[in-house]
Structure 1
């Protein structure tokens, strides 16, 4: 039987009351393996101490002090802690709606939505930047555990500050001057949120158009302006990104992977995969899996 990624029910863990910001933060120590998993919430992870390995959508990177990782809903990831140097991290979990608070945030949101696609899922801050990020997360924790007036407004402001610092480090990134009208903009934001949490379902421009009362051309154009691709290409990128992680991190049969990420047929999955990655899913698995990589990282000199 193939190994499937675990689903973490972050919404239940958050236990958000009506009117509260859909957000929580944990300060935790990791010296063990956190198995491959995914969840509904966006995650911003920041390393304060220690070392380890993180794999996001099949791509591996080192965790060290100053590393920040950003994951959109249902990005698949795992963390390998190092018992000799335990990780101490801040982990912010929040609903994707938190990103869409103002029509002036489109530049920031547009870049963040490309994280894990044509932009990396992590950055490594240095020197003064580390001090600044440490201060931001410490202030979020203090506010989150307190009861000051405007608590959740303060948290969102500091969270956006951290996300802005993260987004500024992502390279390269095109400037986005797309500014739709306010009412239709809000509905387009809802479309993007919906796509990221329902990408494995049968989604079409027509169904989204009816659901959100936006014309199919407007949705396609809006996605292209904001995220860099039209609807079909954007859906393919999200689905193939999820497939990369399943192929590199599990022994799930390729046909099952195709179904899991939302493709109607194995043939269409293989065709799109080859177009985006230049090889078949089976070739990708054979070429890029090396089960000794994580272990060797901690045994080298």
Structure 2
């Protein structure tokens, strides 16, 4: 189910020892987090990443993700959450394409020589977000814009800043990508196991271990994600959307949608201005 936030912008520093997130989740706001210390494995949308100190993880609104913090000692991360309209003013200045490009799901490695700069921006955001005076919201907006523009510049001009997927889990990566791109087709665990030369039990257990999703659970979540896009951006009927997204029963689609989103497909469509 989508997790919401009370304010338009939040930032917090989190320190903790190694742990695994219990369940994958998504939320209707963007999330950026900077790993200041430690190591982490992340499953974002349909890609698996390994990252460490100096990396920024980008999770766009509505994107399914799960993070596991590994290694010894304390992991420290700075998490920024903000609703999409927060950056509308910046899009009006530099264009929606630049902001949209920054907010593509993935992991960015900040060059070591620029980490002090990025950490100063994050310190400024945390300081001003405490509400120092009536000017603080303005400072927060400007600092967030500076962070987004810095990431855009890194992606455009720096070499090797975009993290590659985790090669240690290459087969599970391929399975997840296949599901993500063939979500509207019939997908059966036994058939997928044969396709990737794996046993049924190994695929089931390994996929769950790496992504946090059961095989069938991930298929349903991907189908619901695409159904949400059709609900908000087309006038197609609920039944048509159900079949186009791989469900062969509109009633089952409705039940699965409620379990995932907490509301019916019709209510989700009616409340789109609040999403």
Instruction: State the TM-score bracket (shorter-chain normalisation).
Output: 0.5 to 0.7
Q: Residues 122 and 111 from structure 1, CA distance in 2 versus in 1: closer, same or farther, beyond 3 angstroms?
A: farther
Do structure 1's residue 142 and structure 2's residue 127 form an aligned pair?
yes
The change in CA–CA distance for 1:171 and 1:268 in structure 2 (over 3 A counts) is farther
Match of 2:81 in 1: 93
Aligned to 1:252: 216
Alpha-carbon contact 2:91-2:98 (below 8 Å) kept = no
Q: Which of 66, 73, 98 lines up with 1:78 in the alignment?
A: 66
Q: 1:29 to 1:156 in 2, by over 3 A?
A: same
SS of the residue 2:53 aligns to = coil
Match of 1:61 in 2: 49
Distance 1:138 1:261, change over 3 A: same
Candidates 1, 9, 17, aligned match of 2:4 = 9
In structure 2, relative to structure 1, the CA distance for the partners of 1:41 and 1:260 (3 Å cut) is: closer
Q: How many residues align?
A: 185
Shift of 1:8: 1.9
Task: Structure 2: give runs of 5+ residues left out of the alignment.
Answer: 158-179, 185-206, 231-239, 247-275
2:25 aligned counterpart, secondary structure: strand
Q: 1:113 aligns with which of 69, 94, 100?
A: 100
Are 1:49 and 1:88, in contact at CA under 8 Å, matched by a contact in 2? yes
Report the alpha carbon displacement of residue 102 of structure 1 after superposing the two structures with TM: 4.5
Question: What is the TM-score with the length of structure 2 in the denominator?
Answer: 0.58
Tell whether the 8 Å contact from 1:40 to 1:73 is kept in structure 2 after alignment.
yes
Choose from 129, 142, 160 the match for 1:157. 142
SS at match of 2:215: coil
Check 1:86–1:261 CA distance in 2 against 1; reply closer, same or farther (3 A cut): farther
Distance in 1 separating the partners of 2:243 and 2:73: 45
* Structure 1 unaligned regions, length at least 5: 1-5, 17-21, 173-239, 271-301
CA contact (8 A) 2:38 2:71 kept: no
Q: SS in structure 2 opposite 1:100?
A: helix
Corresponding residue SS for 2:134 = coil
Indicate how the Cα distance of structure 1 residues 29 and 259 shifts in structure 2: closer, same or farther if over 3 A, else same.
same
**What is the SS of the residue equivalent to 2:216?**
coil
